[in-house]
Amino acid sequence: AQTVTQSQPEMSVQEAETVTLSCTYDTSESDYYLFWYKQPPSRQMILVIRQEAYKQQNATENRFSVNFQKAAKSFSLKISDSQLGDAAMYFCAYRSAEDSNYQLIWGAGTKLIIKP
């Protein structure tokens, strides 16, 4: 069975600085997707970024980028120029590409605090 581990329950960063959130996963599959979701205090679940395992290029969305290391089964999220609105719980998630009905496997989340 697949597992996702986020080893940092909480992280804090100064506004405008860069922070990296860690995520590791375990799977025997070769084809899968990885996601970072953001859940602000409103509790809405917002997709931040997506990575296809077959793509070697790291995904980037504006100030958000990932460091995807497939061999190491690592998928970290880097947030550049942190803003107050980035304060949220960040969840790393895994989804199999080998069965389209597979649901997301979630990490426990990392609470990100932005210091003004």
- The contact set with other proteins (CB under 8 A) reads 33, 35, 37, 42-47, 50, 52, 91, 95, 97, 100-104, 106-109
Residue closer to other proteins, measured from CB, 16 or 46: 46
Query: What is residue 42's three-state secondary structure?
Result: coil
Alpha carbon 84 to its chain's center: 18
d(C-alpha 1, C-alpha 82), whole Å:
35
Residue 66's DSSP bridge partners are: 77
d(CA 109, CA 105): 12
Q: Which is nearer to other proteins, 51 or 82 (CB)?
A: 51
User: 3-state DSSP call for residue 32?
Assistant: strand
Tell the smallest beta-carbon distance from residue 95 to other proteins (Å).
Answer: 6
Closest separation between CB of residue 19 and other proteins, Å? 20
Nearest distance in Å: CB 50, other proteins? 5
CB closer to other proteins out of 1 and 43: 43
